[in-house]
Structure 1
Amino acid sequence: QLVLTLDSSQEKITVPFECVLPEKLFVELDRTPEFSSPSTVVEVNKVTYVQVSLRTASRPLSLVLQECSLSTLDKAPLQLLIRVDEPQEPSVQILNSPHYIHGKIWRFSFIYRTGDQGWSPPSFTLLCRVHLQPSEGDSYEHSVEVTLKTHAVQPPQSLGMAAALGITFGAFLIGALLTAMLWYIYSHTRPMTKMQPVSANQPAPESSSSTTPNHSIGSTQSTPCSTSSMA
């Protein structure tokens, strides 16, 4: 009802009227299950809450969620979340929805995970389609552009000059100690060979005549016998 007050008589006039809002579908994302912190950012490996609501006239309508899916900005499919009121991913959970006198509210949650290749686009689209029952096939759709937030591992910072010099000196010291230890082991485990000096004046080999009987001397001793016979 609309109440009008006339300036002349201060009389209040009640005018009945009916305001019919156009039917519209809304898709909202939130960080909490209470839907108290709206956001358009989806964090990888964290729960994201979604509310799909349809504002309609005061007539008995039921909302059937035909499909909710993630796709790239060029419409390439990424992940199918819900189809005909049924979750299509293990991470999708149907939540209790509050009563809405001007239509229907539907809530669910999901967790976005990267594929095996570990790559994800920086942003994508969450698209939801609904179907009204009973109706003559009326359907509505709404999409929300979502920004993806990843938790990349920061690369380690480069070492300073002092740390680099310390590592270099430590490596040099370790190398010197290893070299000294190897030389010590080698010097105490190699075979000890005695080098005997060779004499410069070696005795000459004995002549074979010294060991052979002198037959010429015996023959000269027989000479006197021959002389006495001549006498």
Structure 2
Amino acid sequence: MAANDPLSIGILVIMYFGDVVFAVSGALTAARYRMDVLGFVLIGTITGIGGGTIRDLLLGRPVWWTQDPTELILCVAAALITFFVSPGENNRRRGMVWADALGLAAFAVVGCHIALAFGAPFVVAVFMGMITATGGGLLRDVITNTQPMILCGQLYATTALVGSLTYATLAYLAVPGLMAETAAFLAAFSLRAAAIVFDIRMGPPGEFLRIGASKDSTSE
């Protein structure tokens, strides 16, 4: 896939949706730390485009938003809107977590699709889907000095991997694009939603999963 090859309408919709919800999650994190408007824009934008930027650099392809600034504009707009309509403190954490879950599912699909279209092998494409889905959230948490979700034992990178693997498998089986995209998105989001609601975490060595591990989870 060359840098200027058009993406399908379905992938574009999922990608732009992921940009917006990830930018909102970043902006809500900025709100928790009482940042100014530029802080909102910075954290929101980094969250929205961070994962895709890492993916493109690893694949050796031009970074998408430097060729077409639509994603950049969407992230800035979403962060600005969030600055002016930010919810109360009690709802910020919950809103951030659910916006992040939607972005995670969306970018697991988009990242895998772009890697496959670029000619990456199956395994590499699945990994790139996971990187795209988790990279922006990781950058957001590191910059704001928040413990990254990916390091909290939660089902986070695992859910991205499930979505990416589902999409790659369905694409390999020649399932129609929209059906594959929808199924992969729902697989990742459903698993992440269950992890949030039931506080499902990966256990320590010797355990597989723990449910209701703690009360300070993202379901608060």
TM over 0.5: no
Task: Kindly name which structure, 1 or 2, has the bigger radius of gyration based on alpha carbons.
Answer: 1
Shorter-normalised TM range: under 0.3
The alignment's TM-score, normalised by the length of structure 2, stands at: 0.25
Higher share of residues assigned helix: 2
More strand by share: 1
Larger relative contact order (Cα-Cα within 8 Å, sequence gap ≥ 6): 2
| TM-score, with length taken from structure 1 | 0.24
